[in-house]
A and B are shown apart, each in its own frame.
Chain A
Amino acid sequence: MLFSSYEFIFAFLPITAVVYFALSKIKNPYPQRTFLAAASLFFYSYFEWSYFLIISASIAVNFILAKFSLGSKSEAVKKALFAVSVAFNVGLIGYYKYYDFTVDTINTIASTDIPLKGILIPLGISFFTFQQLSFQLRTLRTDNKKLNFIDYTLFVSFFPQLIAGPIVLYDELVPQIEDDRKRFLNTENLATGLSVFTYGLFKKLIIADELALIVNNGFAASNPMGMLPMWVTAFAYTFQIYFDFSGYSEMAIGLGKMFNYDLPINFRTPLRSASITEMWQRWHITLGRTLSELIYIPLGGNRKGKLRKKINLFIVFLVSGIWHGASWTFVLWGIAHGVARIIEDCCPKLLSKIPTFIRRVFTFNFIVFAFVIFRAKSIDQAFNIFGQMFTVSDLGLGNFSKLLTNGVFGVPNFAAIALAFIAVVICFAIMLKEKSTSQFIDELKLTPKRAIITAAMLAISVLCMSRSAVFIYFNF
């Protein structure tokens, strides 16, 4: 079930909230927690019933391994169990997400004909697998032997963060689950949560989904569109993925808040960054910290010399690319960011002499180019688009109507040019003025004016729900 669907907003969310808070009347907290875990698993299985089996197996195996590890006094046993958990989780994600990609690559390189399986990738598998890997690492290091199955299930499956994050750490969520004060309806949190959720919903449905038309047409064009339409397409995709994913994260944070749980912030206006290093401190923050914890630090981080640090950084970005999907375009996207990050690491003093504005413009354009690779069907297509973006002899002014057609309603070319540029300008304006999620929450005042603005945003979002598209990060 999508957050931006009728079923979720008008049925699942209100019913779950009402029953959940009604169960707070029972002194024992477990019926309430069990209900929330069951509702979350239902939410997940609503997409496809077989997902229930996959996530249940993943939770059960990780829980059992952790339980044995916590019960063991031997370091060797703990390490062996950790190795098993890594093998299990990497094997799970490897099979579902990378089997066909690997076989296809082998077939291409070795001219073999090993059949592909066409495996349906379970939603959110990258997220809940990384979350549990991080938990297993914590299990290896912790002295705290307390571990409860219901709490663990809720930690993994809590519906606001299950499918596309934020990737929550065990020590962030479980203490909140165990906190009895958080069991009861808190109208302030509910009001704040509703506002944040609506803000994210609006970003997703009104901005990201509107931009999807330009992006889909631009990337699907079989004939060259020309320089300007491709620049608009490239900008539009960067904005689309940002508003889509940050909108999703805000919806998740808002939903968490409604149930009195604070989920970590995932975005802090990353498109205003003055460097790639800064961008990664502000974009998909919870993935960055998980990769750091699971890969960068175990590899030695910055403790083993400058060269080793750069190699470690490169590996982290390579894994980040592969984590996003089984395609060479994601690998190249990760490599591009890794190289940029290493270059910045090599000459921080030189870069700091460049005016911030210029660094911001450069960083933003680097992000845009990298996202062209990320979105393209193939590396060939990405370079084809780059070629078009720099073909000054073909401005493509006559092709804007192709960017805005939806197959039913067309737009005359002169109107399409105006609309496309207005859309890009509005997105830039929002990007420059937008508050970060934490700023939004901190500055939120529960005034009648805000209530009416939120209600209007919610009503407009509901009007756009009939054409709602799947969140981009559901694919990863």
Chain B
Amino acid sequence: MKNKAVKFICLLLSFFITATGVLCAAAYILDPQNVYRSNTNGVRYFSPIYSTAPAIRTADYDCVIIGSSMVQNFNASEIASQLECKPLKLALGALEPGELLWLYNNTQEQSNAKKYIINIDLHRFAASESVEPNCGRFPEYMYEPSGLSQFKYLLGYETWFRFIPLQLALTAVEALNIPLPESFKGSFENATDINSAGCWNELNPPGEDALIDNFNSNTVVFNDGNTTVFSDNALANMDYFLGQLAGKLDSDEEIIIYLPPYSSLYWADKDSKQLEAIFALREKIAVFAAKYDNIHLCDLQAESYVENLDLYMDKSHASVTIRKIAQQSVITCTGEPTLHQIKDRNQTIKAYANNTLEKAKAKK
């Protein structure tokens, strides 16, 4: 009986060690999310949450676009041809300031990028939580796949129950020329280019009537922080955040801070206190950018087209027309508005908000 038990334990352990060894080797060779090497042949990026960290380390780039859904649809190849650079987009919907700093710090440490386009969503500074760099929704182990932490990838649930089976299934479906059912397409990202990961459908905006109806009925399409109450430390959070950006910046590097063109509905949805808080944050950024030659502010929040609700998907997400204008503005941005100009623009935004509120009231 004793021998039987010894044999049982030896067999169990040797089979277990062999099985896990084979699984680790297979995950290393297949490397389904490019954690170990850049492999552009047939790799699919299922979610920016998982593809972002490896891309920082393994992709070839000298320009980084970091931000939320506001930059997710920026076209990397158009930016590449106009700026003559190799851009990498690190975008995730509703990116928190702490997550943004985390991505920024990692690109600073692990790449030679010279140009940073950073999208800031000001309402995300409202919460009382700190904005210190943190990996947030990004799996930390993917940033430094060394030592024991890499086993979370090699023997990871996502790797073995998501990435590898989906990758193999999709490759097989394509090889056999089987059309993927339409209902599957919207269920997960299936980008074969890292810069397409996380893109959302910006075609066919619902139009002004539908948006105002949604607004009047309080139907939330995207969570854009419309219920946010700004905390006292929003300004302190912004100070800390900007300090972190500037603190890591070399003289030969450049940052463009991009304030995206939300629709006038977005502004109409804020009460006067929230508006004042956001305006204060905008002014703070303008003062900050003016201090540096290599930090520029691209502010599109007071542009006249934000009142044209036919060009918006919801309160903050614009259609392809505005995305193209915004992208061009970012590419050509060299200077920044003065504090005086920002204050004027704040008043313009307030006027847009009031006009839109009137429109919404009239339609009720």
Contacts and interface: CB of A to CB of B under 8 A. Distances in A.
Q: Judge: A and B partners, yes or no.
A: yes
Chain B CB within 10 Å — which of A401, A447, A462 has the most?
A462
Contacts of B155: 462-463, 465-466
Contacts of B157: 463-467
Contacts of A294: none
A24 B158 CA distance: 42
Contacts of B151: 6
Interface residues of B, number: 37
Contacts of A455: 11-13, 15-16, 19
B47 A408 contact: yes
Interface in A440-458: 446-448, 450-452, 454-456, 458
B178 interface: no
Interface stretch (B99-107, B179-187, B248-256, B296-304): B179-187
A466 B160 CA distance: 11
A1 B157 CA distance: 19
Nearest to A459: B19
Contacts of A401: 187
Interface in A24-83: none
Q: Is the interface of B mostly helix, strand, loop or mixed?
A: helix
A409 B188 contact: yes
A456 B18 CA distance: 10
A410 B2 contact: no
B187 A411 contact: yes
B7 A463 contact: no
B152 interface: yes
Residue of B47, B161, B186 ringed by the most chain A CB atoms within 10 A: B161
A454 B187 CA distance: 35
Contact of B162 (A188, A190, A409, A413): A409
Contacts of A413: 183
Given A188-B2, A408-B49, A458 B16 contact: yes
A187 interface: yes
Specify which of A6, A412, A447 lies most central, judged by the most chain B CB atoms within 10 Å of its CB: A412
Nearest to A408: B47
B183 A451 contact: no
Contacts of A454: 12
B8 A451 contact: yes
A463 B156 contact: yes
A187 B6 CA distance: 6
B186 A410 contact: yes
Interface string A392-435: 00000000010000001111111000000000000000000000
A454 B8 CA distance: 10
Contact of A187 (B9, B161, B184): B9
A55 to B, nearest CB: 28
A191 B16 contact: no
A459 B181 CA distance: 33
Interface in B252-308: none
Contact of A459 (B23, B156, B187): B23
A413 B181 CA distance: 12
Interface of A: 6, 187-188, 190-191, 194, 401, 408-414, 446-448, 450-452, 454-456, 458-459, 462-467
